[in-house]
Structure 1
Amino acid sequence: MCGIVGVFDLAGKREFSRELISRMNETQFHRGPDEGGIHIEPGVGFGHRRLSIIDLSSGQQPLFNEDGSVVVTYNGEIYNFPELSEELKACGHQFKTHCDTEVIVHAWEEWGEACVERFRGMFAFAIWDRNQQTLFLARDRLGIKPLFYSALPDGSFAFSSELKALKTLENLPREIDPTSIEDYFTFGYVPEPKTIFKGVCKLRPGYTLLIKHGSSVIEPKEYWDIPFTPVNYTSEENLKAELIERMRDAVDVRMVAEVPLGAFLSGGVDSSAIVAMMAQLQEKPVHTCAIGFDVKQFNETEFAKQVADQYKTDHFEGLVGSDDFDLLDTLADLYDEPYADSSAIPTYRVCQLAKKQVTVALSGDGGDENFAGYRRYRWHMNEEKLRAAIPLSVRKPIFGLLGKLYPKADWAPRVFRAKTTFQGLARSSVEAYLHTVSLLSEEQRDQLFSDKLKTALKGYQSIEVFNEYVAKAPTQDPLSLIQYLDMKTYLVGDILTKVDRASMAHALEVRVPLLDHKFIEWVSGLPSNLKLKGQEGKYALKKSLEPYLPNDVLYRAKMGFGVPLAKWFRGPLKEKVNESLLGDTIRQSGLFNMEFIEQVIKQHQSGARDYSVIIWTLLMFNAFLERELDITA
């Protein structure tokens, strides 16, 4: 895996300095410690940091076509590059290397913007075509690899794999976007295409961006979306066999590497499925890595060990202590903008452990979104039955009142948290799902935000993020719709961002077979009742895997990566919470109601309420603010 940077003069032919490109490039050294490369010509400059995976002796970047008129800087893996290479050679293109990077420049020459439709893999890249005076940027279909960009006030355009590279530019617009603050405290991240800064964007997954020299038009263009086209099948048995075959194929193409390769093994269904497929595809033992916790309810290593023993893997385990909170400052540096998923801590540790054994690791990310594995899907569909039976005009006043009157019970199992259910039933389906996934409820955000921030928001609310995707969704099936929303927001903004930054911090490449676009195109078309059957999520996947995995792994309750935040904030991090959230940085920002923050801290530390999510979200935002010199909203 790699890091890319670049600058482009939209109108003129200015010479960008080597020092500028090098400074941007070196901020991403961790993404590619093996080699670095820079290309500069009038009006454009590219930089690249390389983590060598395939064709170790060549494939240095930026990389050119035969006559040097087309140059690419690229981060990712094109898994079908051998087939594309042969096709392009038959068209007359000459190759100097055996790496996937060179396929991109020749594919651009042959197919232009449509080249991305031929690529099977994960990627973010930029191409400069001197003859056409064109800059072309692309991001893979699911957003596995990141790509940031900004049109700068001086008439130049800059891009990078991580925001930190753009932040080295003195003229980068760094005014904080108030709508991104609203989104962050709703979702726990800033969803695509926005960033925390008004003047910086992320290229959305499945989009390209073509900029002609002399034009200031910057309009990303979508080239792929999840189809949800119904799948035809003759029997459930045949469908299960096809599912396994398609998953095995998605794993197989991701096992090509000239460096040590292994897999994350959490003990859950998805990672265990990947390991089971890998074990069938290679003779030598699979390298597997697992992270355990010293708090039993978070520890899945016994289930990981079952799978490791069954497939005789070369298994390694590490332990994360319940006091492993030393990464707070590291996380803020890693993510560059506010990011509030606390499972970033164990994810960082499992990548750290994996890197000691391998350079490439396969993961099971995407299984929950593909096959409706999250518990919230069950809750939503159960509520959906009531929403379908009672008109919103009746539900809203009745359940709205009950939601206000019913006491909040953070301590109780969800089935007994009637307040949350009542609030969901008082909303439309999409509004209810946003309420379910929100870190801070609409009411809590209203209490937290200052009058100054509310004025700056001009009535904006995060439901607009969902509404935009609902308007273009290729499905209206209730379950498929919320899966679609998650794939467009949570998967890319939270899960894939977390894995990319944590893995790249250790120069580890992570590949995600369950996010193979061919696999997703097929799985998206499966009937909803084969994904969520009754109260059983991932039904088709689990039934298909019964010959391959222990029953305990397939049908036990989902655990996930958890950390004991509530305990930390009442114990070892109590003083840090007080110093950070009641200190000068957050107070002087003018963004928040300090009385509400004081109330949250007091009630949490007394044990009266569990406000750990609010406190963590504020802590990570404060850590971001402390790294910013120009705080404006």
Structure 2
Amino acid sequence: MCGIAGILCYDPSRSPDRDLIEAMNRAMLHRGPDDGGIYLDGPVALGNRRLSIIDLAAGHQPVDNEDGTIWITYNGETYNYADLREELLAKGHRFKTSGDTEVIVHLYEEMGERCVERLRGMFAFALWDKRRARLLLARDRLGIKPLYYYRGGEFLAFASEIRALLALPTIQPRLNRRALHDYLSFQYTVAPQTMFEGVQKLEPGHLLVANGAETRQERYWRLDYSRKLPLSEEACIEEFHDRFVAVTRSHLVGEVPLGVMLSGGLDSTAVAAVVSELVGQVKTFSVAFADDGEGYDERRYARLAARHFATDHHEIAMTRQDFVRGLRDYIWSMEEPMADPSSVPLYAVSRLASDHVTIVLSGEGSDELLGGYSSASDFRGVARARWFRKIPAPVRRGLLEPLNAGLLRSSRIRRHLDLADRPLSHYLQLVPTYMGGNVFSEEGKRQLYGPRMREDGWPRSEAVAVDAYRQAASFEFVDQLLSVYTTQWLPDDLLLKADKMTMAHSLELRVPFLDHTFVEFAASLPVRLKIRMNGRRNLITKYALRRAFQGKIPREIIERPKRGFPVPLQRLLREDLRSMARDLLGSRLVRESGLFDPQQVQALLQLSEGAGIREYLQLWRLLVFCIWLDLFKVTP
């Protein structure tokens, strides 16, 4: 695992300043404390900070081919590198190292840009082809590893972290106001945007190719839910188990100690079960709030799993004051505002794990693959839409539409009447479901905005989700939901915070559920093996996973309903964060930014104990943003 950085001057007669690439490297020291390297050649500079995992002695980067015409700086792990290396040796390629990075160089010699199609793993890399004067940037299919870039008037710069780009004096921290508009709806910034004007994310499963000032992007992978396995239920469950064991085994490669993040939930316990079976006793790590009652302390489930698999278990008990003390460190490490309160405990447990291991595995991704977020209410809306479609068109148009327009004035009835004239597969385009929603309405945002935000007239943020559902319209209802969760929420929230929180402590996180071959297999499962009705009002989520590990992990964990990491956010905002919120949101910085209406901000600060969770989440999103604005000295 590493941090990568680089600069490409558009003018081939110009060369990047060595001091600049060194500054970019220094900004990412935490991503690679073991080694650093730089390559300069004509218009290009490549930088690398290395966290040594494989080939500890000889894995220095950047790495080149036999004649020095192709160079790479690489972040990630390629789990099938050994097989690829054997293929390339058989074709006559000569290797100087035994790690995975050099494999990509020689694979590029064979396949060009299409080399990414052969890689299994998590990665972000930059490859310089000296003969063609071409720079290739690539990011893994699911977005496990981040990659940012900036296109200036005279150069292209890229890095694993935004702070490395900000090390360049020509890139100033200016606010991307459109990203703020969408952040208030989603709680994160949606790719390719970042909260910094001009800085963009390379999206998952994409390449960027630059020849001088000319660039093009290409999507090389898209998840297809339309092809379903023609197997019996029992055969699917057996295949599920065997494939998950195989991908987890592949994720154990390395020459350093490893462990498992163990929350006590189904996903992390399944990972711990397989790792324990494959390697024997493994170190496990968990975190919880200790002073807010059992509702916020789920360590008993983690302890149950740890005892069951005889792990070497370590845990940390957070207090609300620990949360307050860690909040600014979390936002600094995150680099952008992300209003996901579970990130602060993740930051703390990552620090704990880094004292014992260099690699941790987690259960990230299972919910997005197998419907872990679904509830019966998702299906009730579709059922109502089917009912409306059964009403004869003359009755809908001649009776119900006028009745609703003149008397009822129900937006829900209006949506169902509109949908009745369209294919049922368009339901989620009219009623888009997305994580982080239902906090700020568009009208609520307009009321909150100050003059600087009001002048822009942004479109509705949910249009991003609607467009994603439009692209997934050919899939079944459940698979449409999973497709959007996998392409938006997963890379832009879960995986980004997981990377930043772990790498802040020089800890490599691996996610076996998100091996792309397993992801493709999960997409091919019939919907009934992901979500199954259990009576009229209840669902069994992640059905295949529960069946595959029945009898292998404790029943109490198998039967646990899905629950996100519990954070006492309302109490934190009422008590422990109250003075911080009042001082910062009422500060001159926020008042003079012109971003928010001071009266609306003050109204949020006056929340009473009886206020609803929505109002507290609004205050939380605003607080996280304003801390970020202050920390990074961003120009509004």
- TM-score above 0.5: yes
State the 1:68 CA deviation. 1.0
Q: How far is 1:443 from its partner?
A: 3.2
Q: Secondary structure at the match of 2:320?
A: coil
The answer to whether structure 1 residue 353 and structure 2 residue 352 are counterparts is yes
Task: Give 1:256-267 correspondences, 5 Å limit.
Answer: 256-267=253-264
Report the alpha carbon displacement of residue 424 of structure 1 after superposing the two structures with TM: 8.9
CA distance 1:345–1:126, change in 2 (3 Å): same
2:556 corresponds to which of 548, 552, 555 = 552
**Counterpart in the other structure of 1:289:** 285
1:414 match: none
> Structure 1's 624 and 372: CA in aligned 2 closer, same or farther, altered over 3 A?
same
Q: Is the 8 A contact 1:151 1:199 kept in 2?
A: yes
Distance (whole Å) between structure 2 residues aligned to residue 220 and residue 449 of structure 1:
34
Name the structure 1 match of 2:531. Answer: 532
In structure 1, distance between residues paired with 2:591 and 2:376? 40
Does the CA contact (< 8 Å) of 1:569 and 1:605 recur in 2? no
Deviation of 1:33 after TM superposition, in Å, equals 0.5
8 Å CA contact retained: 1:124, 1:139: yes
* Residue of 246, 271, 283 corresponding to 1:274: 271
Same amino acid, percent of matched pairs:
37
- Report how far residue 227 of structure 1 moved: 1.4
Q: 1:404 to 1:579 in 2, by over 3 A?
A: farther
Following TM superposition, by how much is the alpha carbon of 1:266 offset from its aligned partner in structure 2, in angstroms?
Answer: 0.6
- Maintained 8 Å contact 2:281/2:310: yes
- In structure 1, the partner of 2:158 is 159
Rounded to whole Å, the distance in 2 between the matches of 1:462 and 1:430 is 13
How far apart in 2 are the matches of 1:464 and 1:361?
Answer: 36
1:208–1:223 Cα contact (<8 Å) kept = yes
Q: Which residue of 2 aligns with 1:417?
A: none
Q: CA deviation at 1:13?
A: 2.8
CA contact (8 A) 2:173 2:196 kept: yes
**1:111 match:** 111
Give the letter for the 2:546 counterpart: K
Asked if structure 2 preserves the Cα contact closer than 8 Å seen for 1:128 and 1:135, the reply is yes
Structure 1 residue matching 2:215: 3-state secondary structure: coil
Q: Secondary structure at the match of 1:326?
A: helix
Residue aligned with 2:168, SS = coil
Within 1, Cα distance between the matches of 2:407 and 2:70?
63
Q: Distance in 2 between matches of 1:401 and 1:91?
A: 76
- Residue aligning to 1:607: 610
Deviations 1:564-619 (A, max 9, x none): 111112112211111111211221111112222211221x2453444221111111
Local SS of the residue matching 1:390: helix
User: Quick check: 157-166 or 605-614, which moved more?
Assistant: 605-614
* 1:404 positional shift: 8.2
Code of the residue aligned with 1:66 in structure 2: it is: E
Please list, as runs of the form range in 1=range in 2, the aligned pairs for 1:51-66 lying within 5 A after superposition: 51-66=51-66
Deviation at 1:425, TM superposition (A): 7.0
Note if contact 2:4-2:75 (Cα within 8 Å) is conserved in structure 1: yes
Question: Which AA in structure 2 matches 1:465?
Answer: V
SS of residue paired to 1:262:
strand
CA–CA distance in structure 2, aligned partners of residues 403 and 626 of structure 1:
44
Structure 2 partner of 1:592: 596
Distance 2:387 2:493 in 1: 34
Task: Confirm or deny that 1:202 pairs with 2:201.
Answer: yes
Q: Which amino acid aligns with 2:136?
A: F
Partner SS state of residue 171, structure 1 = coil
Shift of 1:134: 0.6
**CA distance 1:397–1:211, change in 2 (3 Å):** farther
How many angstroms apart in 1 are the aligned matches of 2:284 and 2:114?
Answer: 37
Structure 2 letter corresponding to 1:289: F
2:127/2:135 contact within 8 Å kept: yes
Per-residue deviation, residues 269-310 of structure 1 (Å, max 9, x unmatched): 10011111112212x312111113213112221111222222
Counterpart-to-counterpart distance in 2, 1:340 and 1:300 = 22
The one-letter amino acid of 2:108's match is W
* Corresponding residue of 1:312: 310
CA separation of 1:182 and 1:124: change in aligned 2, threshold 3 A: same
Partner of 1:147: 147
Distance 1:301 1:95, change over 3 A: same
Gaps in structure 1 of 5+ consecutive residues: 406-420
The structure 2 residue matched to 1:624, chosen from 595, 613, 628, is 628
C-alpha spacing 1:424/1:593, structure 2 compared with 1 (3 Å):
farther
* Residues 37-70 of structure 1 deviation map (CA, whole Å, 9 limit, x = unaligned): 1111211111100000001001100111111111
Q: Identify which range, 75-84 or 381-390, moves more after superposition.
A: 381-390
Q: TM-score, normalised by structure 2?
A: 0.91
Return the alpha-carbon distance in structure 1 between the equivalents of residues 436 and 590 of structure 2.
Answer: 25
Measure how far apart 1:436 and its partner are: 6.5
Match of 1:542? 546
Residue by residue over 1:198-229, the C-alpha shift from the partner in whole angstroms, topping out at 9 and shown as x without a partner, is 3111000000111123xx23221000011114
Question: How far apart in 2 are the matches of 1:310 and 1:357?
Answer: 21
- Tell me the equivalent position of 1:487: 486
Aligned to 2:249: 252
User: 1:583 aligns to what?
Assistant: 587
Q: How far does the alpha carbon of each residue in 1:338-360 deviate from its partner, in whole angstroms, 9 at most, with x for none?
A: 21111111111111111121110
**How many aligned positions are there?**
610
Q: Quick one: which amino acid aligns to residue 168 of structure 1?
A: A
Letter in 1 for 2:572: W
Deviation at 1:401, TM superposition (A): 8.9
Q: Distance in 2 between matches of 1:345 and 1:422?
A: 41
What is the match of residue 82 of structure 2? 82
CA deviation map 1:537-558 (0-9, x unaligned): 1112111111211121011232
**Counterpart residue number, 2:321:** 323
Q: Work out whether 1:24 is the aligned partner of 2:28.
A: no
Q: Distance in 2 between matches of 1:400 and 1:594?
A: 37
* 2:536 equivalent in structure 1: none
Which residue number in structure 2 is paired with residue 408 of structure 1? Answer: none
TM-score when scaled to structure 1?
0.92
Structure 1 CA distance for aligned equivalents of residues 278 and 335 of structure 2: 39
- Aligned-CA RMSD value: 2.3
Change in Cα spacing, 1:335 to 1:401, as seen in structure 2 (3 Å) is farther
AA paired with 1:622?
C
Give the structure 2 partner of residue 236 of structure 1.
233
Show CA shifts across 1:82-106 (max 9, x none).
Answer: 0000111111110011100010111
Match of 1:411 in 2: none
- Opposite residue 228 of structure 1, the aligned amino acid is Y
1:171-195 CA distances to partner (integer Å, 9 max, x unpaired)?
1264422221111101111111111
Q: Aligned ranges for residues 160-199 of structure 1 at < 5 Å?
A: 160-172=159-171, 174-199=173-198
**TM-fit CA distance, 1:336:** 1.6
Q: Is the 8 A contact 2:8 2:157 kept in 1?
A: yes
Alpha-carbon contact 2:428-2:466 (below 8 Å) kept:
no
State how far apart, in whole Å, the 1-side matches of 2:571 and 2:430 are: 32
The alpha-carbon distance between structure 1 residues 404 and 448, as it changes in their structure 2 partners (threshold 3 A), is farther
Q: In the alignment, residue 131 of structure 1 is paired with which amino acid?
A: R
Letter of the 2:20 counterpart: L
Paired residue type of 1:387: A
Give 1:323's aligned amino acid: Q
Give the counterpart letter for 1:293 in structure 2: F
Q: Distance in 2 between matches of 1:138 and 1:395?
A: 51
